[in-house]
A and B are shown apart, each in its own frame.
Chain A
Amino acid sequence: MPDLMLLLPEIMQTPLWIVIKIVVIVAPLLLAVAYLTYAERKIIGYMQVRLGPNRVGPKGWLQPIADALKLMTKEIIIPTNANRFLFLLAPVISLAPALAAWAVIPFGEGLILADIDAGLLYILALTSLGVYGVIVAGWASNSKYAMLSTLRAAAQIVSYEIAMGFALVGVLMASGSLNLNKIVLAQQGGFLDWFLLPLFPLFIVYYLAGVAETNRAPFDVAEGESEIVAGFHVEYSGMAFSIFFLAEYANMILIAALTSLMFLGGWLSPIGAWADLPILGDGMHWFVFKTAFMSFFFLWFRATFPRYRYDQIMRLGWKIFIPVTIIWLAVEGVAILLGWQPWL
């Protein structure tokens, strides 16, 4: 806490300091969300041999700002017979967990808002809440398209959460801690010590389940533009719609950040010997870089793969991902029992 804060009355010091930290985390996050939408349009554009947005500002850099201004000035239409309170509450419910989960994300060694011991459990609990935004939105809209999509989305999210949770159990077994800071520190010593290699199947399952959890292509039957208009937020307009959009992209960044923390060594440098060097050494920039790298895959997937059929999604989640994680947990358990722990 800086000395300036000590001038304030004692009861205000800690809460104010926490609020300042929250702003320091959330403001760049929302900026990153805005520019992830720009990156998505640009990257998919180049992949499909188009230019993407290039009119607003130099090279289109101001496009997300223009989009935000446009959405803010639009009217929020509430359908007749919709439940007004729940209709407006739904976007908030979907955005809040996506932001609150960042409280336990370590950006560097000890650079963390709340260094709690059950960090991983907290993340799991909060990501399981995102589905309420979808359910409440679909139900409160009083529309059959929104309702259909809600059913799809919620069934999909609940199914993939199991595979995701099991993958995290593997990380927990390897690191011996639920604390995200300690999980990263357990991967010290260069990229060969990252959990990426010993837990490779869990890494794949976790990341793909994360793509399914955020309802992104190729698992985007919940939105399914070509089948059910736009899914659960079909009745939303203006800012209420854009908050769903924000939540989706914030969740993408969260999944990318968690993947990089748990499997790619977080803020650790990829070469162990570089750890103390000024730029190549450990630091927040590595975490940001790895998160950006994992976020790129979300966009790449969307530009590459056709949408899964709904029964294929369910099959993949229940009959492939969950058995893979269970087998790998057994393998890991035997390895730990035999004292063969190459990641240590």
Chain B
Amino acid sequence: MNIEVWVFLTFSLVAVASAVRVITVNHSVHAALFLVLTFFSCAGIWLLAEAEFLGLTLVLVYVGAVMVLFLFVVMMLDVDTAPMQEGFTRYLPLGLVIGLVMVAEMVLVVASPKFSSEKLSNAVAHGADYSNTEELGKAIYTDYLYQFEIAAVILLVAIIAAIALTLRKRPETKYQKPSEQVKVKKSDRLRIVKMKSEQH
């Protein structure tokens, strides 16, 4: 077998195994770390598919930023898993329905003509001078500019909303105001008191 096939099998095996562990492992921090491993393996598979920009961005954005913040939350929460396992049977029907819907959606996507086997068999391996980053940039900034801008505006709205949420004033918290600290003059802090010298 080809070495690419071996690399693909290794990465996909690790990806599937760690994805299963994400939902079966008991401790939430371990689950988050398994999710990191899943992302990593997927990035490896994408690199293999000559999509190096997507693969590296997956590591940069999801592993390097999103999962770090996620881990923070999970570490701080100290989730007790016992009551969650009690509710397992109660939520099982709902979970099954959602799971089935997701499977159906994925089947519809994968079975669509865009992923048909004759289209995929035509895929060509590119040479060393092919740059996926450049091709992706050209496609996004020419053919898909409108969609790209819509995505950008949605993200901008999300950023503004997130900042607006932190802007509320809480009078009881004490925090530093550097502009006021800098403006302080000697006369604001220091009072010179003249006193008569004591008589002995």
Contact = CB atoms under 8 A, between A and B. Distances in A.
B29 A139 contact: yes
Contacts, number: 65
Given A117-B133, A118-B52, A315-B178, A136 B64 contact: no
Interface stretch (A119-127, A265-273, A334-342): A119-127
A129 interface: yes
B60 interface: yes
B68 interface: yes
Determine chain B's interface SS by DSSP, over half rule. Answer: helix
A48 interface: no
B36 interface: yes
Range, interface on chain A? 20 to 34
Given A116-B52, A128-B63, A154 B72 contact: yes
A151 B72 contact: yes
B56 A118 contact: yes
Contacts of B8: none
Nearest to A138: B75
Contacts of B102: none
Given A135-B71, A136-B33, A311-B176, A129 B52 contact: no
Nearest to A155: B72
Contacts of B33: 86, 136
B60 A124 contact: yes
Interface of B: 29, 33, 36, 52-53, 56-57, 59-60, 63-65, 68-69, 71-72, 75, 131-134, 175-176, 178
Interface of A: 86, 116-118, 121-122, 124-126, 128-129, 131-132, 135-136, 139, 147, 151, 154, 158, 161, 178, 309, 311-312, 315
Given A128-B64, A135-B71, 12 more contacts: A117-B132, A121-B133, A125-B64, A128-B63, A129-B64, A135-B75, A147-B75, A161-B65, A178-B133, A309-B176, A311-B175, A315-B178
20 contacts: A116-B52, A117-B133, A117-B134, A118-B56, A122-B56, A125-B57, A125-B59, A128-B59, A128-B60, A128-B64, A129-B59, A132-B36, A132-B68, A135-B68, A139-B71, A154-B72, A158-B65, A309-B176, A311-B176, A315-B178
